[in-house]
Structure formats: structure tokens, C-alpha cells
Amino acid sequence: MSDLTLFYQQIAEKKGASDLKKTATSNPEWGIYPDSLHDSEGTVLFMFRTGAEKKLVAAGNSGKIYNELTGVEKTQNDLKIKECELTVENSKVIRKYFEFTNPISLAEYKTTFGLGDRLGLASPGHLKLFKKYPSVRPVLAQQSIRELNLTGRDYGQVLADAVWAVFQEDYREGYGADGDHLKALDDIQMALDYGYTMITLDCSEHINNLSSEQTAEIEKIYQSLEGREQEKLEKQFLDKTFKLKTGLTLTFTPEALKFNVAIYQQAINFALKVYNQFIKPLQGKIDFEVSIDETATPTDPLSHFFVAEQLTTAGVKINSMAPRFCGEFQKAIDYIGDLKQFEVEYKEHTKIAEHFGYKLSVHSGSDKFAAFPVIGRESKGHVHVKTAGTNWLEAVKVIIAAEPSLYREMHEFAFKHQEEARKYYVVSADPKRVPDINKLSDKELARLMEEDDSRQIIHITYGLILLAKDQNGKYIFRDRIYECLRRNEELYNQFLEKHIGKHMELLGF
């Protein structure tokens, strides 16, 4: 434990907040986070770290917040001190007394960025970066159910980790919390109950993966609609030209209508149901994203319009929409495909999004550096970009630098079990192209995080690595990974600032 006696003395002497901050800054060996110094009705609060342990301290009186926090009490120089663990329960107390630590709707902000922090350790680094980009708002908590299962966390912990980061960095600009890629009604309710402010509805289970050549199948689905429903759709889409003020003209042939109905109508009805049941009653407090990106084929701009036109006509307030773009957005590596074609279609998708007044949501799968300049330029800053797993890879880089022997074990394990991970994630990585780790020096290991094949395999095996247990039921890697990253927080922050900073630069934010 670091000795904070001198600091406590100053608090007991009722030194002002700016004096305390100065003292904390000029004594970095105490491990106090200067920006975490806050005051609530005479109770001084701050966070500090020794080794791998991070805690919250409440000191100064036995006011309301002091009493509500759970921790170990002691008295020093007549000063009452409570040392608290960074638990979900304590984070709720912080949220109650410090409004800015609560997630909010980011609907009014043009540019938003989702940062899925799988380990719950990346947000301080992200916030240091976002302080330099005041026009962009971060979505700090952002996990799908799959990611929760693969990391062994729940929505309460994910949000609590974001709250602690916001408190530690004193980030007051506002942030979002996204229940990402939710498919089940129970999961949506759960995310809302935890206080999440964004719901990304994954409609993929209601989308038919048909090609336009499957005419018999398409006709069958179309004819299964009620007569009134058919009539309504034909009136809405046929025999007219949609001239969007944003500079796009769209028309539906009868075949195009039938095709889109066959693929998307169920998904549209599902989105409508979810909106009316869960989102609408919360009156603008929840940002609603409609995701149709997890499909076999790219979303044609006409289909994008078809979905949005029906939803908005039915009164759905869409905050963002995620189509599947052409080309491949594989995890952890750059864009694969025809960038010129991507640009053409991205422009059309942007015009549709602008017509309806929502943001295009780009589920980047991280690191689409070749496509980011197009996205930044065409969206003119009106966009939501999501990234997630890349924070895990930056964490792995820290492990390589600080504890290469741990990395070697993780690497061996990941390569042995990668087939399992490929059930969840489609990647083109070929393990045969990865150099033999036993022939690489510790210094050369960093190279593995620069090469596509090893990047992808380490990227998708995070869940297997984190949850792996030995015969005694003890985690093989999890605790050591957390310990290493906590001890090397500054290095992790540096890596994240640089790497996510590269995203921001190329997007032109």
C-alpha cells in the first residue's frame, strides 16, 4: 500500500481542491489520479493505485456519500477515511452523486464513436484521447451478448468500469452506453434496466438471405402477405420516384419491391415492434440503432431506403442505421475489397441517412484505415463509428512488451484452440503463415501484432484465452492478464491513444 499519510494530513487541514490536485500531481509515487479528486458536501474523494490495485478513497466527514459507499474504514489525524473497492455497487453511489458519470443519449451529437472495451481497462486511455477531440462523443460501454459471454462479464460490470474511468479522468462531456447487437427482447430489457442509453437492434435473424435469382421463393414469400399489406406496400413504393433532397433518386420495380419484401419485411416488423415496446416509452432517452449488417450479402442502397422509409413512416425515431457495406470488414485487419466501389456505395448510403436525418453507423471491425478517409470525408462528421476488439490487441501489445513469457503461453494456447473461435468469427487468417514463435526473440514478438494472420487469430481467441481454466478450476491467463495490464496502465493508455488516435486522424475528426 502506498503511504498517503501526508496527503491525508492535507485533507485534514481542509486544503482546497486545487491545492490537493497540485500535491497529487507533484507526488506521482503516491499513485493518486489527480483528475479523480472530487468533493461532495465536504467528503473528499479520489482514486489511487498501488501495483495492480486501484481503489477509491472517501475522506473527510461522514456525510451522505461517505456513509453510502462500502469500504474499509480507518481514522488518521482525526480524519475518517474509507477505502473502497471499485465495485458495481460503489459505482452506483458515484452515479447518484456525480451526474456526469451517468451515460446519456448522444442523439444531439453529430459525431459519435463506439469503443467496446472488452476487458474494462481501456476507457481511461480512450478518455485521455477524447479530451483532445471535443466534437466527438464516446460510447464507452458497448458490448454484445456474445462479447459478454466470451469475456465473462455482465452489463453491470461493463457500465461500472466506464463510470470509474469517467470519474478517474473527470470526463464531463457525456458518454453513451450501448447494448450492442441485441437480438432478444429479454436482453434489450436487461440492458435498459442497467441504465444503457443506446440499443443496437440486430435484425439478422429476421433477414432472409436470398439472392434475386431465387424468384420462386421470393414470390412465395410475397404472396404469403395479407392482401391489405401487399396493397399498402405497393402504394408506398411502386409507380413513383423518390427524389431525395440529398441528391439521390430511387425507384422500385415490382421485382425490386418483392425482393426487398422477401428479404427485409420481417426484420422491419421486428424493429417496429421493439421500438414501440421498449424505446418509444422512454421518450428520447434511448438512442435506437437498427443494424442490418450481419447478413450474407451487402445491403443495396435501395434496400437501405426500403427499410428506413417504412420505419420512419411508422413513427420510428432512428438514431443510427448500420447497413452491411460492400467488401469485407474482417476483424482486426484493413478493408478488403474494391475501395472505389465502396466509395460509390458509401456516398449513396450517406445520402439516404441524411435524407432521414440519422447517422450512418459503421461497424468497422477495427482498423479499416484504408476506408476511414472515405467515411470521414463523405459523412462530413455525421456518423457513428464502432470499433471493439482492437483494444484487446493493444492490450496484448502491452503484455508482449511487459511480460513476453505470458504472451508466449497465450499465443500457444490461442493457436491450439483457434478453430473454436472461428465458429463465432469469420476471418481469413492462415496459421501456417505465422512465424514459429520459438524462433522469435522477445523483441521480435511485437511483429506478430503487425501481421494480419497472427493479429486475427489473437483477436478472435480473446474469449478462449480469458475463460481458460486449469484442472483445479483456476483461470490460466485471466488474472495474470489483468494484473499485467493494471500494473502497466500508463503504457496501455499510450498505446490506445496512439492507435485510436490513428482512427480519429484518418476519419478526419
Binding to Zn ion (CB under 5 A): which residues in 450-469? Answer: none
Distance in Å, CB of 349 to Zn ion, minimum:
14
CA dist., res. 97 & res. 140, Å (int):
20
Which of 421, 433, 430, 428 has the alpha carbon at shortest distance from 460?
421
CB of 278 to Zn ion, least distance (A): 19
* Least distance (Å) between residue 354 CB and Zn ion: 21
| Contact (Cβ atoms closer than 8 angstroms) between residue 317 and residue 288 | yes
- Supply φ then ψ for residue 393, to 5 degrees: -65, -35
Question: Taking the complex as a whole, how short is the minimal distance between the CB of residue 394 and Zn ion, in angstroms?
Answer: 21
Least distance (Å) between residue 79 CB and Zn ion: 50
Single out the segment in contact with Zn ion by CB under 5 A; choices: 222-230, 285-293, 439-447, 501-509: 285-293
Residues 50 and 29: their CA atoms lie apart, in Å, by 9
Please enumerate in sequence order all residues whose Cβ is within 8 A of that of 458, keeping only pairs 6 or more positions apart, or say none.
Answer: 393, 396, 410, 411, 414, 448, 449
Contact 170, 38 (CB under 8 A): yes
- Residue 363 vs 368, nearer CB to Zn ion: 363
Question: Residue 239 to residues 233, 234, 251, 348, 446: CA-CA distances in angstroms?
Answer: 11, 8, 8, 22, 59
CB atoms within 10 A of CB 283: 8
Strands 359-363, 383-386: pairing is parallel
Q: Are 118 and 393 in contact (CB under 8 A)?
A: no
Of 91 and 320, CB closest to Zn ion: 320
Judged by CB under 5 A, which stretch of 249-257, 293-301, 463-471, 495-503 contacts Zn ion?
Answer: 293-301
> Residue 444: CB partners within 8 Å, gap ≥ 6?
none
Query: Mask: binding to Zn ion, 133-172, rule CB under 5 A, as x and -?
Result: ----------------------------------------
Q: What is the 3-state secondary structure (H, E, C) of 83-142?
A: EECCCHHHHHHHHHHCHHHCCCCCCCCCEEEECCCCCCCCHHHHHHHHCCCCCEEEEEEE
Whole-number minimum distance, CB 202 to Zn ion, in Å? 7
The residue with its CB nearest to Zn ion is 363
Say if CB 381 and CB 509 are below 8 A apart. yes
Q: How many chain residues are in contact with Zn ion, going by CB under 5 A? A: 2
Residue 180 falls in the annotated catalytic set: yes
Q: Which is nearer to Zn ion, 187 or 293 (CB)?
A: 293
Residue 209: C-alpha distances to residues 216, 264, 488 (Å): 14, 9, 46
Classify the C-alpha dihedral 119-124-129-134 as positive or negative. Answer: positive
From 169, 178, 293, 367, residue interacting with Zn ion (rule: CB under 5 A): 293
Task: Say if strands 53-59 and 79-84 run parallel, antiparallel, or are unpaired.
Answer: antiparallel
| Minimum distance of Zn ion from residue 474's CB (angstroms) | 34
DSSP 8-state code for residue 337: S
CB nearer Zn ion, residue 122 or residue 201 = 201
Nearer to Zn ion, 301 or 323 (CB): 323
Is residue 395 within 8 A of residue 121, CB to CB? The reply is yes
Q: Which of 117, 289, 293, 354 is catalytic?
A: 289
Q: Catalytic pick from 170, 180, 202, 452?
A: 180
Q: Nearer Cβ to Zn ion, position 116 or 301?
A: 116
Smallest distance from Zn ion to CB 294, Å:
6
Comparing CB distances to Zn ion, the nearer of 363 and 397 is 363
**Is 68 a known active-site residue?**
no
Shortest distance, position 124 Cβ to Zn ion, whole Å: 26
C-alpha torsion sign, points 427, 430, 436, 440: negative
x/- track of binding to Zn ion for residues 342-381 (CB under 5 A): ---------------------x------------------
With respect to Zn ion, which residue has the nearer C-beta, 23 or 295? 295
Task: Give the integer Cα–Cα distance in Å for 454 and 467.
Answer: 20
* Closer residue to Zn ion, CB minimum distance, 98 or 113: 113
DSSP state of 257: H
Taking the complex as a whole, the smallest distance from the CB of residue 324 to Zn ion amounts, in Å, to 8
Cα distance between residue 479 and residue 233, in whole Å: 56
> CA 123, 129, 135 angle in degrees (round to 5)?
110
Q: Is the CB of 363 or the CB of 455 nearer to Zn ion?
A: 363
Residues that bind Zn ion (CB under 5 A): 293, 363
Q: Which residues carry out catalysis?
A: 180, 289
